[in-house]
Amino acid sequence: MLNKRRLGNSDLQVSPIGLGCWQFSKGGGFIGKYWQGLSAETEREIVSASLSAGVNWFDTAEAYGLGKSEQALSAALTSLGVKPGEVVIATKWLPIGRFSRSIGRTIDRRLECLAPYPIDLYQIHFPASFSPVPSQLRAMAALAKAGKIRHVGVSNFSASQMRLAHRVLAEEGIALVSNQILYSLLKRSAETNGVMETAKELGITLIAYSPLAQGVLTGRFHENPASFARLSGMRAMNMRSERSRLERTRPLIEALRRIARERQVTPAEVALNWTLTFHGETVVAIPGASKTAQAEHNARAMSFALTHDELAQIDELSREVVGLRAAGAGSAR
């Protein structure tokens, strides 16, 4: 069983797997339309299954349904009798079309949507505000100093932006805890663009979103390519590239299946475990779940540890898919 990890240089102890709550958006807002809406009962069951399996933190965002995901998460936790402080809550400020002053002006709404749960980690969702990054980080630091939030993180920041954010926050006496990025066996640019290296150097945790490549690493699209036809809207458009390289990714999927059979787990659990362990404790992951079984399987990725040889084999096949140079001896940990 993988132990809880310290999130960056904070006092937050989180399970290596958290629950991403984008799918709780109720179809609200532009980004929320990416997923079909779930019932409140289904959301409650997913949160309950995650908690029962050892997950202790949840990641949501203002952009996910314009507050509907935050409200759904709070409602599920409340109905399950979870008390404030018993779980870690992360959410994000939506910067698109806004100035940094919006951070302070909208925080009460974020707290209202999540009530009675506090914001343990508040993140800048994208580096896309009308205000420069330093102004945004100083506004976040002000919230931390005022006790509105506990810790500050960013999302989708480059290596240079991470360094800038780290420096600006340090000047305010605040630590940059995390950077939430797209990372999986099929998306490994963090290893070549300096993000992974910077995170390790500065003690910043990387939070991997879409760690299963939106289902591709489960193997279900390889078993039944017709499943792509059932996707709609933005998700169908976003998955075109994965559909086009289905045969190229097949050797990796077959290796995940073989290791999964030997361990009596699923290919998705193997893929998640690789993500959690290949770089030591630098990376945690927030897979989503639209069904209870998915939440249970995601959490089970914390119940075993892949061997050095298994990590290396998966790494090699993944590198062939994404075009990374061959690794040296041992893993990148």
List the catalytic residues. Answer: 64
Bridge-partner residues for 122, per DSSP? Answer: 91, 152
Cβ atoms 215, 221 nearer than 8 A: yes
175: amino acid identity, one letter? A
CA 100, CA 201: separation in Å to the nearest integer? 28
Amino acid at 104: G
Instruction: Find out whether 204 and 178 touch, Cβ atoms under 8 Å.
Output: yes
Tokens coding 28: 């609200």
CA 71 – CA 63 distance, rounded (Å):
12
Token output for 216: 């591709």
DSSP 184: B
| 178 neighbors 205 (Cβ within 8 angstroms) | yes
